[in-house]
Structure formats: structure tokens, C-alpha cells
Amino acid sequence: MRILFASFASVLLAACNLSPMYGGGGSGVVAQSLAAIDVAPIEGRAGWLVRSALEERFGAAGQASPRYRLEVRLDDQLEGLAVLRDDTISRERRILRARYQLVDLATGDIVLDATDGSDAGIDVVSSEYATIAAERSALENLSRDLAQRIVTRVALALRDDR
């Protein structure tokens, strides 16, 4: 019964034209396209963190001569959420948003123009050092998360563009 179910499921999957995005591993079309992306410099500490995370992910497939350039503009905001009776803030929200464009270097065409973002809540405690450390930690985590979101959107665009 299990063999019959497995063969039926594989026939159904083949019929719906699903294919793995990273088919072919590091030598696949999407992986090679990701390796050929040059990330333009991004302003600020958040920009450095996001750019480093992007370069790490794009470089995982190896090195290739740049065919695309990724231009990213960030908006990093820190806002108070919970205000106590004595007008002190007890909770903050860090928001990291990005607007990015993937440009084909050969033609100058914009392959992808998108926005994405991520946010995190931070407890404000009596220790200023602990609060600053939490804000920095949140920025590092948001930068990695945002970079992964960008890589996924870029990979989808490159897969559809081939």
C-alpha cells in the first residue's frame, strides 16, 4: 500500500511542474546566478551588517564574474512602544526595512524592484548597557533575517527570469 501511495504521489508532483529552486546544487542556474551578484555598498552600521550577510549567502555557491548588481537602501527605526505612568519607555520596537533593486549589468534593466522588512521587540530595562546591547543584538538578528528574505526574493526572480 505504501509503495502504491508513494508512486501515486510522485506522479502527482511530476504533473504539477514543480521543480526545486536550487536544482543542480552549486552548479545549477539559480546558484550560479546568485554567485554572479555584486552587492553595492550600503550606508550605516545596519548597511554593513546586511551587506555582509548578503555577500556571505551569495558567495556560498562560489565566485563568478558579476552579472548583476544589487542596490539596497535601508530604513532603520527605533520607536518606543510601552510608556509607563512616569513617562518612561518600557518596550521598544526596532524596524529594519529595505528597498532593493537587482540590476542586469549588461543591459541596465531592473530585474527586480522590491521592498522587504523585519522588526523586533526590545525590553527596556534599568541598565542602559543592557538596553543598548539588546538594541544591537536585535539589529544583528534583523540584518540576517532581512538578508535571507532578500536572497529568497532574488533567487525567485532569477529562477523566473531564466
For residue 25, the model assigns a pLDDT of 46
Task: Identify whether 13 is part of a domain.
Answer: no
Q: Which amino acid is at 114?
A: A
Task: Identify whether 82 is part of a domain.
Answer: yes
Task: Identify whether 6 is part of a domain.
Answer: no
For residue 24, the model assigns a pLDDT of 46
Q: What is the pLDDT of residues 71-103, one digit of tens each?
A: 999 999 988 877 777 777 778 889 999 999 999
For residue 23, the model assigns a pLDDT of 46
Distance, CA of 153 to CA of 148 (rounded, Å): 9
Output the domain CATH number for residue 107. 3.30.160.150
Is residue 61 predicted with pLDDT exceeding 90?
no
Is residue 146 predicted with pLDDT exceeding 70?
yes
Task: Identify whether 9 is part of a domain.
Answer: no
How is residue 153 written as a grid cell? 526574493
Task: Identify whether 65 is part of a domain.
Answer: yes
Task: Identify whether 157 is part of a domain.
Answer: yes
For residue 21, the model assigns a pLDDT of 46
Mean pLDDT of 115-121: 93
Q: What mean pLDDT is reported for the chain?
A: 83
Residue 81 lies in domain: 20-161
How is residue 23 written as a grid cell? 536544482
Output DSSP code: residue 84. -
Q: What percent of the chain has pLDDT over 70?
A: 78
Task: Identify whether 29 is part of a domain.
Answer: yes
Residue showing cell 523566473: 160
Q: What is the pLDDT of residues 23-57, one digit of tens each?
A: 444 455 566 778 889 999 999 999 999 999 999 98
Task: Identify whether 4 is part of a domain.
Answer: no
Domain count, the chain: 1
